[in-house]
Amino acid sequence: MKSIGLHWFRRDLRFDGNPALLRNIEEMRGRVLCVFFFDATFLSRPDFSVGRFAFFIKSLQSLKDQLRERGGDLLVLDDGPDAGFERILNLLDKHQLKPALVTWNRDYEPFARLRDERIERWLQKRDIKVLTERDHLICEPHEVLKDDGTPYRVFTPYYRKWKQFLATSGGRVRLAAPTAKDKINFELSWKRVDAKIPALDRCDTFEKQNRRRLKINVPEAGTSEAFRVWKNFGHRLDAYKDLRDFPAHDATSGLSIFFKNGSITTAQVLSRTNRHSASAEKFISEVAWREFYYSILFNFPYVETESFNPKYRNIKWENDEKLFKKWKSGETGFPLVDAGMRELVQTGRMHNRVRMVVASFLVKDLHIDWRWGERFFMEHLLDGDLAANNGGWQWAASTGCDPQPYFRIFNPQSQAKKFDPENSYIQKWVPEFGTKNELRPIVNHAERARRAVTLYRKLG
Ligand SMILES: Cc1cc2nc3c(=O)[nH]c(=O)nc-3n(C[C@H](O)[C@H](O)[C@H](O)COP(=O)(O)OP(=O)(O)OC[C@H]3O[C@@H](n4cnc5c(N)ncnc54)[C@H](O)[C@@H]3O)c2cc1C
Protein backbone atom coordinates (compact mmCIF):
# COMPACT_ATOMS: atom_id res chain seq x y z
CA MET A 1 0.00 0.00 0.00
CA LYS A 2 1.27 3.46 -0.87
CA SER A 3 0.37 6.46 1.30
CA ILE A 4 -1.34 9.48 -0.14
CA GLY A 5 -3.07 12.59 1.20
CA LEU A 6 -6.73 13.44 0.70
CA HIS A 7 -8.15 16.96 0.93
CA TRP A 8 -11.88 17.41 1.50
CA PHE A 9 -13.11 20.71 0.02
CA ARG A 10 -16.19 22.30 1.59
CA ARG A 11 -16.34 26.08 1.73
CA ASP A 12 -12.68 26.74 0.88
CA LEU A 13 -12.99 26.63 -2.89
CA ARG A 14 -9.55 27.87 -3.91
CA PHE A 15 -5.96 26.71 -4.14
CA ASP A 16 -4.09 29.90 -3.20
CA GLY A 17 -3.52 30.28 0.50
CA ASN A 18 -5.69 27.27 1.34
CA PRO A 19 -4.09 26.30 4.67
CA ALA A 20 -5.26 22.69 5.09
CA LEU A 21 -4.68 21.81 1.44
CA LEU A 22 -1.20 23.36 1.34
CA ARG A 23 -0.25 21.61 4.56
CA ASN A 24 -1.36 18.29 3.08
CA ILE A 25 0.58 18.89 -0.12
CA GLU A 26 3.66 19.74 1.92
CA GLU A 27 3.40 16.75 4.27
CA MET A 28 2.56 14.28 1.50
CA ARG A 29 5.04 15.84 -0.97
CA GLY A 30 2.37 16.63 -3.49
CA ARG A 31 0.78 13.17 -3.48
CA VAL A 32 -2.64 14.57 -2.63
CA LEU A 33 -6.07 13.88 -4.12
CA CYS A 34 -8.98 16.28 -3.74
CA VAL A 35 -12.63 15.49 -3.22
CA PHE A 36 -15.94 17.27 -2.81
CA PHE A 37 -19.14 15.56 -1.59
CA PHE A 38 -22.58 16.85 -2.48
CA ASP A 39 -24.65 15.93 0.50
CA ALA A 40 -28.18 14.92 -0.56
CA THR A 41 -29.57 16.27 2.73
CA PHE A 42 -28.12 19.66 1.83
CA LEU A 43 -29.72 19.59 -1.61
CA SER A 44 -33.14 18.88 -0.12
CA ARG A 45 -32.94 21.51 2.62
CA PRO A 46 -36.06 23.68 2.74
CA ASP A 47 -33.94 26.83 2.44
CA PHE A 48 -32.08 25.47 -0.61
CA SER A 49 -31.41 28.18 -3.20
CA VAL A 50 -31.17 27.35 -6.90
CA GLY A 51 -29.26 30.60 -7.56
CA ARG A 52 -26.77 30.11 -4.75
CA PHE A 53 -26.23 26.51 -5.80
CA ALA A 54 -25.57 27.63 -9.39
CA PHE A 55 -22.98 30.09 -8.09
CA PHE A 56 -21.48 27.36 -5.93
CA ILE A 57 -21.16 25.03 -8.92
CA LYS A 58 -19.47 27.79 -10.91
CA SER A 59 -17.05 28.26 -8.02
CA LEU A 60 -16.36 24.52 -8.03
CA GLN A 61 -15.71 24.55 -11.77
CA SER A 62 -13.24 27.37 -11.29
CA LEU A 63 -11.59 25.43 -8.47
CA LYS A 64 -11.18 22.45 -10.81
CA ASP A 65 -9.32 24.68 -13.26
CA GLN A 66 -7.07 25.99 -10.49
CA LEU A 67 -6.20 22.47 -9.39
CA ARG A 68 -5.60 21.24 -12.95
CA GLU A 69 -3.21 24.12 -13.61
CA ARG A 70 -1.10 22.71 -10.78
CA GLY A 71 -1.20 19.10 -11.89
CA GLY A 72 -4.07 18.01 -9.64
CA ASP A 73 -7.81 17.61 -10.06
CA LEU A 74 -11.04 17.36 -8.10
CA LEU A 75 -13.55 14.54 -7.83
CA VAL A 76 -17.11 15.68 -7.13
CA LEU A 77 -19.25 12.83 -5.84
CA ASP A 78 -22.99 12.71 -5.23
CA ASP A 79 -22.58 11.00 -1.85
CA GLY A 80 -22.65 12.64 1.53
CA PRO A 81 -19.27 12.46 3.31
CA ASP A 82 -20.15 9.30 5.29
CA ALA A 83 -20.87 7.16 2.23
CA GLY A 84 -18.42 9.21 0.17
CA PHE A 85 -15.34 8.52 2.29
CA GLU A 86 -16.19 4.84 2.37
CA ARG A 87 -16.45 4.80 -1.41
CA ILE A 88 -13.18 6.69 -1.83
CA LEU A 89 -11.32 4.37 0.53
CA ASN A 90 -12.58 1.32 -1.38
CA LEU A 91 -11.64 2.91 -4.66
CA LEU A 92 -8.13 3.71 -3.46
CA ASP A 93 -7.74 0.27 -1.94
CA LYS A 94 -8.18 -1.28 -5.38
CA HIS A 95 -5.19 0.74 -6.52
CA GLN A 96 -3.08 -0.16 -3.51
CA LEU A 97 -3.38 3.36 -2.12
CA LYS A 98 -4.32 4.44 1.41
CA PRO A 99 -4.79 7.95 2.76
CA ALA A 100 -2.30 8.58 5.54
CA LEU A 101 -3.64 12.10 6.01
CA VAL A 102 -7.05 13.68 5.45
CA THR A 103 -7.33 17.45 5.72
CA TRP A 104 -10.10 20.03 5.72
CA ASN A 105 -10.63 23.61 6.80
CA ARG A 106 -12.90 24.09 9.79
CA ASP A 107 -16.57 25.04 9.60
CA TYR A 108 -18.52 26.43 12.55
CA GLU A 109 -22.18 25.80 11.75
CA PRO A 110 -23.88 23.38 14.16
CA PHE A 111 -24.66 20.82 11.43
CA ALA A 112 -21.10 20.96 10.08
CA ARG A 113 -19.50 20.59 13.50
CA LEU A 114 -21.41 17.39 14.26
CA ARG A 115 -20.66 16.02 10.79
CA ASP A 116 -16.96 16.79 11.08
CA GLU A 117 -16.65 15.20 14.52
CA ARG A 118 -18.35 12.07 13.19
CA ILE A 119 -16.13 11.85 10.09
CA GLU A 120 -12.99 12.49 12.11
CA ARG A 121 -13.82 9.61 14.48
CA TRP A 122 -14.59 7.35 11.51
CA LEU A 123 -11.27 8.12 9.83
CA GLN A 124 -9.26 7.83 13.02
CA LYS A 125 -10.72 4.38 13.63
CA ARG A 126 -9.17 3.43 10.30
CA ASP A 127 -5.78 4.76 11.38
CA ILE A 128 -6.03 7.80 9.16
CA LYS A 129 -4.61 11.03 10.53
CA VAL A 130 -6.94 14.02 10.34
CA LEU A 131 -5.66 17.54 10.27
CA THR A 132 -7.87 20.62 10.20
CA GLU A 133 -7.06 24.31 9.82
CA ARG A 134 -8.67 27.69 10.38
CA ASP A 135 -9.60 29.37 7.13
CA HIS A 136 -12.85 31.18 6.58
CA LEU A 137 -12.71 33.24 9.77
CA ILE A 138 -9.78 35.40 10.82
CA CYS A 139 -10.40 34.68 14.50
CA GLU A 140 -12.18 31.51 15.50
CA PRO A 141 -15.09 31.71 17.94
CA HIS A 142 -13.12 30.23 20.86
CA GLU A 143 -10.30 32.75 20.39
CA VAL A 144 -12.24 35.92 21.15
CA LEU A 145 -13.83 35.52 24.57
CA LYS A 146 -14.36 37.75 27.60
CA ASP A 147 -11.66 37.67 30.28
CA ASP A 148 -13.77 35.16 32.24
CA GLY A 149 -13.79 32.80 29.24
CA THR A 150 -17.45 33.34 28.33
CA PRO A 151 -18.58 34.51 24.88
CA TYR A 152 -19.46 38.10 24.08
CA ARG A 153 -23.08 39.05 23.49
CA VAL A 154 -22.44 42.64 22.46
CA PHE A 155 -20.51 43.67 19.37
CA THR A 156 -18.43 46.67 20.55
CA PRO A 157 -16.47 44.88 23.31
CA TYR A 158 -16.18 41.82 21.04
CA TYR A 159 -14.68 44.01 18.33
CA ARG A 160 -12.23 45.58 20.79
CA LYS A 161 -11.02 42.13 21.85
CA TRP A 162 -10.95 40.94 18.22
CA LYS A 163 -8.62 43.81 17.32
CA GLN A 164 -6.48 43.19 20.40
CA PHE A 165 -6.10 39.56 19.33
CA LEU A 166 -5.01 40.62 15.86
CA ALA A 167 -2.37 42.92 17.36
CA THR A 168 -0.67 39.98 19.15
CA SER A 169 2.15 38.13 17.39
CA GLY A 170 -0.15 35.13 16.91
CA GLY A 171 -2.84 37.35 15.46
CA ARG A 172 -0.58 39.44 13.21
CA VAL A 173 0.40 36.44 11.07
CA ARG A 174 -3.25 35.97 10.18
CA LEU A 175 -3.13 39.14 8.13
CA ALA A 176 0.43 38.72 6.91
CA ALA A 177 1.28 38.98 3.22
CA PRO A 178 1.11 35.70 1.26
CA THR A 179 4.24 33.56 1.03
CA ALA A 180 5.88 31.56 -1.75
CA LYS A 181 4.40 28.41 -0.17
CA ASP A 182 1.51 28.74 -2.59
CA LYS A 183 3.82 27.84 -5.48
CA ILE A 184 3.89 24.12 -4.68
CA ASN A 185 2.16 21.66 -7.01
CA PHE A 186 0.44 18.29 -7.07
CA GLU A 187 2.34 15.11 -7.89
CA LEU A 188 -0.84 13.05 -8.17
CA SER A 189 -4.30 13.31 -9.69
CA TRP A 190 -7.37 11.06 -9.93
CA LYS A 191 -6.69 10.71 -13.62
CA ARG A 192 -3.23 9.38 -12.90
CA VAL A 193 -4.59 6.89 -10.35
CA ASP A 194 -7.06 5.53 -12.90
CA ALA A 195 -8.17 7.19 -16.14
CA LYS A 196 -11.72 5.90 -15.49
CA ILE A 197 -12.19 7.68 -12.15
CA PRO A 198 -12.95 11.17 -13.56
CA ALA A 199 -16.08 9.64 -15.14
CA LEU A 200 -17.52 9.30 -11.61
CA ASP A 201 -17.56 13.08 -11.29
CA ARG A 202 -21.09 14.52 -10.94
CA CYS A 203 -20.41 18.26 -11.14
CA ASP A 204 -21.74 18.65 -14.70
CA THR A 205 -24.82 16.54 -13.93
CA PHE A 206 -25.68 18.80 -10.99
CA GLU A 207 -25.04 21.85 -13.13
CA LYS A 208 -27.39 20.64 -15.87
CA GLN A 209 -30.16 19.66 -13.44
CA ASN A 210 -29.92 22.94 -11.60
CA ARG A 211 -29.75 25.07 -14.77
CA ARG A 212 -33.28 23.95 -15.71
CA ARG A 213 -34.64 25.57 -12.55
CA LEU A 214 -32.46 28.67 -12.61
CA LYS A 215 -34.27 31.97 -13.07
CA ILE A 216 -31.51 34.53 -12.48
CA ASN A 217 -28.21 35.47 -14.10
CA VAL A 218 -25.46 34.11 -11.94
CA PRO A 219 -22.34 36.30 -11.65
CA GLU A 220 -18.85 35.13 -12.54
CA ALA A 221 -17.36 32.99 -9.79
CA GLY A 222 -13.97 31.75 -8.63
CA THR A 223 -10.76 33.10 -7.17
CA SER A 224 -9.60 35.26 -10.10
CA GLU A 225 -13.00 36.91 -10.24
CA ALA A 226 -12.97 37.43 -6.47
CA PHE A 227 -9.56 39.12 -6.70
CA ARG A 228 -10.80 41.25 -9.61
CA VAL A 229 -13.81 42.38 -7.56
CA TRP A 230 -11.59 43.11 -4.58
CA LYS A 231 -9.10 45.14 -6.68
CA ASN A 232 -11.94 47.10 -8.14
CA PHE A 233 -13.26 47.83 -4.66
CA GLY A 234 -9.77 49.00 -3.61
CA HIS A 235 -10.23 52.06 -5.83
CA ARG A 236 -13.52 52.85 -4.10
CA LEU A 237 -12.52 52.02 -0.53
CA ASP A 238 -11.94 55.67 0.46
CA ALA A 239 -15.62 56.44 -0.14
CA TYR A 240 -16.87 53.34 1.71
CA LYS A 241 -17.53 54.99 5.06
CA ASP A 242 -19.60 57.82 3.58
CA LEU A 243 -21.44 55.99 0.82
CA ARG A 244 -21.92 52.42 2.04
CA ASP A 245 -25.48 53.08 3.20
CA PHE A 246 -26.72 54.36 -0.14
CA PRO A 247 -28.02 51.52 -2.32
CA ALA A 248 -27.85 53.55 -5.54
CA HIS A 249 -24.07 53.86 -5.13
CA ASP A 250 -21.81 50.97 -5.93
CA ALA A 251 -19.98 51.65 -2.68
CA THR A 252 -19.68 48.28 -0.95
CA SER A 253 -17.23 45.54 -1.88
CA GLY A 254 -19.62 42.91 -3.29
CA LEU A 255 -17.32 40.28 -1.76
CA SER A 256 -19.78 38.43 0.48
CA ILE A 257 -20.64 35.92 -2.27
CA PHE A 258 -16.97 34.96 -2.52
CA PHE A 259 -16.38 34.84 1.24
CA LYS A 260 -19.28 32.41 1.47
CA ASN A 261 -17.54 29.76 -0.71
CA GLY A 262 -13.99 30.61 0.20
CA SER A 263 -12.99 31.66 -3.32
CA ILE A 264 -11.23 34.41 -1.39
CA THR A 265 -11.03 34.91 2.38
CA THR A 266 -11.46 37.95 4.56
CA ALA A 267 -7.86 37.47 5.75
CA GLN A 268 -6.58 37.54 2.16
CA VAL A 269 -8.52 40.73 1.52
CA LEU A 270 -7.46 42.51 4.70
CA SER A 271 -3.83 41.45 4.30
CA ARG A 272 -3.80 43.27 0.97
CA THR A 273 -5.75 46.34 2.11
CA ASN A 274 -4.21 49.54 3.41
CA ARG A 275 -5.87 49.46 6.81
CA HIS A 276 -5.10 53.00 7.96
CA SER A 277 -8.09 55.14 7.08
CA ALA A 278 -11.54 55.75 8.51
CA SER A 279 -13.08 53.90 5.57
CA ALA A 280 -10.78 50.92 5.98
CA GLU A 281 -11.59 50.83 9.69
CA LYS A 282 -15.30 50.76 8.85
CA PHE A 283 -14.78 47.96 6.34
CA ILE A 284 -12.79 45.95 8.89
CA SER A 285 -15.55 46.40 11.45
CA GLU A 286 -18.07 44.98 8.98
CA VAL A 287 -15.86 41.93 8.50
CA ALA A 288 -15.76 41.68 12.30
CA TRP A 289 -19.59 41.67 12.37
CA ARG A 290 -19.39 38.58 10.19
CA GLU A 291 -17.08 36.96 12.74
CA PHE A 292 -19.22 38.15 15.66
CA TYR A 293 -22.27 36.40 14.21
CA TYR A 294 -20.22 33.24 13.73
CA SER A 295 -19.19 33.47 17.34
CA ILE A 296 -22.85 33.80 18.35
CA LEU A 297 -23.90 30.81 16.23
CA PHE A 298 -20.99 28.75 17.57
CA ASN A 299 -21.53 29.59 21.22
CA PHE A 300 -25.33 29.74 21.19
CA PRO A 301 -26.26 27.20 18.49
CA TYR A 302 -29.95 27.37 19.47
CA VAL A 303 -30.20 30.69 17.58
CA GLU A 304 -30.55 28.64 14.42
CA THR A 305 -34.16 27.95 15.36
CA GLU A 306 -34.96 30.24 18.32
CA SER A 307 -34.68 33.84 19.40
CA PHE A 308 -31.32 34.59 21.02
CA ASN A 309 -33.23 36.45 23.72
CA PRO A 310 -35.60 33.91 25.39
CA LYS A 311 -37.94 36.77 26.38
CA TYR A 312 -39.12 37.09 22.79
CA ARG A 313 -39.78 33.44 22.02
CA ASN A 314 -43.48 33.76 22.63
CA ILE A 315 -44.36 36.81 20.57
CA LYS A 316 -47.82 36.32 19.08
CA TRP A 317 -46.95 36.85 15.42
CA GLU A 318 -49.93 37.47 13.14
CA ASN A 319 -48.30 35.54 10.27
CA ASP A 320 -50.82 36.71 7.66
CA GLU A 321 -50.05 34.65 4.52
CA LYS A 322 -51.50 37.30 2.17
CA LEU A 323 -49.30 40.05 3.57
CA PHE A 324 -46.30 37.71 3.44
CA LYS A 325 -46.95 37.10 -0.25
CA LYS A 326 -47.09 40.84 -0.93
CA TRP A 327 -43.76 41.29 0.86
CA LYS A 328 -42.13 38.44 -1.08
CA SER A 329 -43.25 39.78 -4.45
CA GLY A 330 -42.39 43.41 -3.68
CA GLU A 331 -45.97 44.66 -3.74
CA THR A 332 -46.31 46.32 -0.35
CA GLY A 333 -46.73 49.83 -1.73
CA PHE A 334 -43.66 50.95 0.25
CA PRO A 335 -41.24 51.72 -2.61
CA LEU A 336 -37.95 51.02 -0.83
CA VAL A 337 -39.24 47.71 0.51
CA ASP A 338 -40.60 46.72 -2.90
CA ALA A 339 -37.38 47.72 -4.66
CA GLY A 340 -35.34 45.57 -2.30
CA MET A 341 -37.57 42.52 -2.58
CA ARG A 342 -37.71 42.73 -6.38
CA GLU A 343 -33.94 43.08 -6.55
CA LEU A 344 -33.56 40.04 -4.29
CA VAL A 345 -35.83 37.79 -6.36
CA GLN A 346 -34.48 38.97 -9.72
CA THR A 347 -30.75 38.97 -8.88
CA GLY A 348 -30.10 37.11 -5.61
CA ARG A 349 -28.62 40.26 -4.14
CA MET A 350 -29.74 43.06 -1.84
CA HIS A 351 -27.91 46.02 -0.33
CA ASN A 352 -27.31 45.86 3.43
CA ARG A 353 -29.32 49.02 4.25
CA VAL A 354 -32.26 47.68 2.25
CA ARG A 355 -31.97 44.27 3.96
CA MET A 356 -32.39 46.06 7.29
CA VAL A 357 -35.41 48.00 6.05
CA VAL A 358 -37.27 45.05 4.48
CA ALA A 359 -36.53 42.84 7.48
CA SER A 360 -37.79 45.45 9.92
CA PHE A 361 -40.87 45.96 7.74
CA LEU A 362 -41.76 42.25 7.71
CA VAL A 363 -41.45 41.93 11.46
CA LYS A 364 -42.57 45.27 12.81
CA ASP A 365 -45.07 46.42 10.18
CA LEU A 366 -46.49 43.08 9.05
CA HIS A 367 -45.96 41.28 12.40
CA ILE A 368 -44.65 38.18 10.69
CA ASP A 369 -42.23 35.80 12.40
CA TRP A 370 -38.62 36.78 11.52
CA ARG A 371 -37.91 33.13 10.70
CA TRP A 372 -40.24 33.33 7.69
CA GLY A 373 -38.19 36.20 6.32
CA GLU A 374 -34.91 34.53 7.22
CA ARG A 375 -35.94 31.44 5.24
CA PHE A 376 -37.06 33.49 2.22
CA PHE A 377 -33.72 35.31 2.21
CA MET A 378 -31.89 31.98 2.31
CA GLU A 379 -33.92 30.74 -0.65
CA HIS A 380 -32.77 33.69 -2.74
CA LEU A 381 -29.55 35.30 -1.49
CA LEU A 382 -26.41 34.40 -3.42
CA ASP A 383 -24.44 35.16 -0.25
CA GLY A 384 -26.99 33.41 2.02
CA ASP A 385 -25.05 32.36 5.08
CA LEU A 386 -26.61 30.97 8.24
CA ALA A 387 -24.62 33.02 10.77
CA ALA A 388 -24.89 36.45 9.09
CA ASN A 389 -28.44 35.95 7.91
CA ASN A 390 -29.69 34.75 11.27
CA GLY A 391 -27.76 37.55 13.00
CA GLY A 392 -29.16 40.16 10.61
CA TRP A 393 -32.73 38.95 11.05
CA GLN A 394 -32.53 38.70 14.81
CA TRP A 395 -30.98 42.17 14.90
CA ALA A 396 -33.85 43.61 12.87
CA ALA A 397 -36.45 41.68 14.89
CA SER A 398 -34.89 42.87 18.17
CA THR A 399 -34.75 39.26 19.34
CA GLY A 400 -30.99 38.84 18.89
CA CYS A 401 -27.77 39.71 20.63
CA ASP A 402 -26.98 43.42 20.54
CA PRO A 403 -30.12 44.10 18.50
CA GLN A 404 -31.98 47.14 17.31
CA PRO A 405 -34.10 48.08 20.40
CA TYR A 406 -37.69 46.92 19.81
CA PHE A 407 -39.12 50.44 20.05
CA ARG A 408 -36.78 51.79 17.33
CA ILE A 409 -38.68 50.98 14.20
CA PHE A 410 -37.51 51.94 10.73
CA ASN A 411 -39.96 54.15 8.88
CA PRO A 412 -39.60 52.83 5.30
CA GLN A 413 -40.56 56.20 3.84
CA SER A 414 -38.04 58.24 5.80
CA GLN A 415 -35.38 55.56 5.21
CA ALA A 416 -36.01 56.00 1.47
CA LYS A 417 -35.74 59.81 1.74
CA LYS A 418 -32.50 59.56 3.68
CA PHE A 419 -30.71 56.79 1.78
CA ASP A 420 -32.19 57.10 -1.70
CA PRO A 421 -32.82 60.85 -1.88
CA GLU A 422 -32.94 60.94 -5.70
CA ASN A 423 -35.12 57.78 -5.81
CA SER A 424 -32.59 56.28 -8.24
CA TYR A 425 -32.51 52.89 -6.56
CA ILE A 426 -36.28 52.80 -6.21
CA GLN A 427 -36.86 53.77 -9.83
CA LYS A 428 -34.55 51.04 -11.05
CA TRP A 429 -36.67 48.31 -9.44
CA VAL A 430 -40.09 49.92 -9.14
CA PRO A 431 -40.74 51.47 -12.56
CA GLU A 432 -44.32 52.38 -11.62
CA PHE A 433 -42.99 54.61 -8.82
CA GLY A 434 -44.41 58.13 -9.13
CA THR A 435 -46.94 57.11 -11.81
CA LYS A 436 -50.68 56.54 -11.50
CA ASN A 437 -49.96 52.81 -11.28
CA GLU A 438 -48.00 53.17 -8.08
CA LEU A 439 -49.22 50.69 -5.46
CA ARG A 440 -50.98 51.91 -2.35
CA PRO A 441 -49.40 50.96 1.00
CA ILE A 442 -50.86 47.70 2.31
CA VAL A 443 -50.64 48.87 5.93
CA ASN A 444 -50.56 52.09 7.91
CA HIS A 445 -46.96 52.28 9.11
CA ALA A 446 -47.54 54.46 12.20
CA GLU A 447 -50.41 52.33 13.44
CA ARG A 448 -48.58 49.03 12.79
CA ALA A 449 -45.40 50.29 14.46
CA ARG A 450 -47.38 51.22 17.61
CA ARG A 451 -48.93 47.77 17.65
CA ALA A 452 -45.48 46.15 17.29
CA VAL A 453 -44.24 48.02 20.35
CA THR A 454 -47.23 46.68 22.29
CA LEU A 455 -46.49 43.12 21.15
CA TYR A 456 -42.91 43.34 22.42
CA ARG A 457 -43.72 45.34 25.56
CA LYS A 458 -46.17 42.67 26.72
CA LEU A 459 -43.24 40.28 27.03
CA GLY A 460 -41.24 42.59 29.23
C1 LIG B 1 -31.62 40.82 7.45
C2 LIG B 1 -30.18 40.66 7.01
C3 LIG B 1 -29.76 39.47 6.43
C4 LIG B 1 -28.43 39.30 6.02
N5 LIG B 1 -28.06 38.10 5.45
C6 LIG B 1 -26.74 37.91 5.11
C7 LIG B 1 -26.32 36.67 4.56
O8 LIG B 1 -27.10 35.72 4.40
N9 LIG B 1 -25.01 36.54 4.20
C10 LIG B 1 -24.10 37.57 4.37
O11 LIG B 1 -22.93 37.40 4.03
N12 LIG B 1 -24.48 38.74 4.92
C13 LIG B 1 -25.76 38.95 5.28
N14 LIG B 1 -26.14 40.16 5.81
C15 LIG B 1 -25.10 41.18 6.08
C16 LIG B 1 -24.85 42.17 4.92
O17 LIG B 1 -26.06 42.67 4.43
C18 LIG B 1 -24.05 41.57 3.77
O19 LIG B 1 -22.91 40.91 4.26
C20 LIG B 1 -23.58 42.65 2.80
O21 LIG B 1 -24.70 43.34 2.26
C22 LIG B 1 -22.78 42.03 1.69
O23 LIG B 1 -22.38 42.99 0.74
P24 LIG B 1 -20.86 43.40 0.58
O25 LIG B 1 -20.00 42.19 0.47
O26 LIG B 1 -20.80 44.40 -0.53
O27 LIG B 1 -20.59 44.07 1.99
P28 LIG B 1 -19.45 45.12 2.49
O29 LIG B 1 -20.14 46.33 2.98
O30 LIG B 1 -18.42 45.29 1.43
O31 LIG B 1 -18.86 44.41 3.76
C32 LIG B 1 -17.69 43.59 3.74
C33 LIG B 1 -18.02 42.23 4.31
O34 LIG B 1 -18.35 42.35 5.69
C35 LIG B 1 -19.36 41.41 6.03
N36 LIG B 1 -20.54 42.13 6.50
C37 LIG B 1 -20.95 43.35 6.12
N38 LIG B 1 -22.05 43.72 6.80
C39 LIG B 1 -22.34 42.69 7.62
C40 LIG B 1 -23.36 42.45 8.58
N41 LIG B 1 -24.30 43.36 8.87
N42 LIG B 1 -23.39 41.27 9.22
C43 LIG B 1 -22.43 40.34 8.97
N44 LIG B 1 -21.44 40.50 8.09
C45 LIG B 1 -21.39 41.67 7.42
C46 LIG B 1 -19.67 40.62 4.77
O47 LIG B 1 -18.93 39.43 4.78
C48 LIG B 1 -19.21 41.56 3.67
O49 LIG B 1 -18.84 40.90 2.49
C50 LIG B 1 -27.49 40.35 6.22
C51 LIG B 1 -27.93 41.55 6.79
C52 LIG B 1 -29.24 41.71 7.18
C53 LIG B 1 -29.67 43.00 7.78
In this structure, the dihedral spanned by the alpha carbons of residues 323, 325, 328 and 333, taken in order and rounded to 10 degrees, is -50
Query: b or e along 64-97 (b: 16 or more beta carbons within 10 Å of the residue's beta carbon)?
Result: bebbeebebbbbbbbbbbeebbeebbebbeeeeb
Helix (H) or strand (E) holding 451: helix 445-457
Residue type for 207, please?
Answer: E
Q: Is 77 helix (H, G, I), strand (E, B) or coil?
A: strand
User: Counting atoms of ligand 1 from 1, which one is nearest the CA of 259?
Assistant: 47
Q: Which residues line ligand 1 (CB under 6 A)?
A: 244, 252-256, 259, 286-287, 289-290, 293, 352, 355-356, 359, 377, 381, 383-385, 388-389, 391-393, 396
Name 323's Cβ contacts closer than 8 Å, sequence gap at least 6: 366, 368, 442, 443
pTM value is 0.97
E-only strand ranges, 92-167: 97-105, 129-133
Beta carbons within 10 angstroms of residue 324's beta carbon: 18
Entry field: residues in the chain? 460
Ligand 1 centroid from CA 56, angstroms: 18
Q: Which amino acid is at 281?
A: E
* Catalytically annotated residues: 286, 289, 317, 352, 370, 393
Q: What is the pLDDT of residue 259?
A: 98
What pLDDT is stored for residue 125 in this prediction?
98
Question: Quick check: 360 and 404 in contact, CB under 8 A?
Answer: yes
Residue owning the nearest CA to atom 51 of ligand 1: 392
- Pairing, β 74-77 against β 32-37: parallel
Q: Domains plus CATH for the chain?
A: 1-134 (3.40.50.620), 136-175+222-299 (1.25.40.80), 310-457 (1.10.579.10)
Angle at 127 between CA 200 and CA 182, to 5 degrees: 65
Give the tens place of pLDDT for each residue, 190-249.
999 999 999 999 999 999 999 999 999 999 999 999 999 999 999 999 999 999 999 999
Pocket test for ligand 1, best of 235, 290, 361 (most atoms within 8 A of CB): 290
Closest CA to ligand 1's atom 20: 352
Ligand 1 centroid, distance to 251 Cα (angstroms): 13
What pLDDT, on a 0 to 100 scale, did the predictor assign at position 213?
A: 94
* Residue owning the nearest CA to atom 33 of ligand 1: 287
Question: 30 to each of 53, 65, 184, 198, 297, how far by Cα in Å?
Answer: 30, 17, 8, 19, 36
**pLDDT under 50: residue ranges of the chain:** none
pLDDT recorded at residue 182: 58
Instruction: For residues 207 and 66, give the distance between their C-alpha atoms in angstroms, rounded to a whole number.
Output: 19
| d(C-alpha 18, C-alpha 129), whole Å | 19
Atom of ligand 1 nearest to the CA of 255: 25
CB 59 within 8 A of CB 263: yes
Check residue 179 and give its pLDDT: 65
Instruction: Find the helix packing angle between 412-419 and 335-347, rounded to 10°.
Output: 70
- End-to-end CA distance of the chain: give it in Å, rounded: 66
Q: What are phi and psi of 293, to 5 degrees?
A: -70, -30
pLDDT score, position 460: 72
**Could you count the other beta carbons within 10 Å of the beta carbon of residue 109?**
17
What is the distance between the alpha carbons of residues 196 and 106, in angstroms, rounded to a whole number? 31
Name the residue at shortest CA distance from atom 16 of ligand 1: 352
pLDDT digits (tens, 9 = 90+) for 14-32: 999 999 999 999 999 999 9
Which three-class secondary structure state does DSSP give residue 159? helix
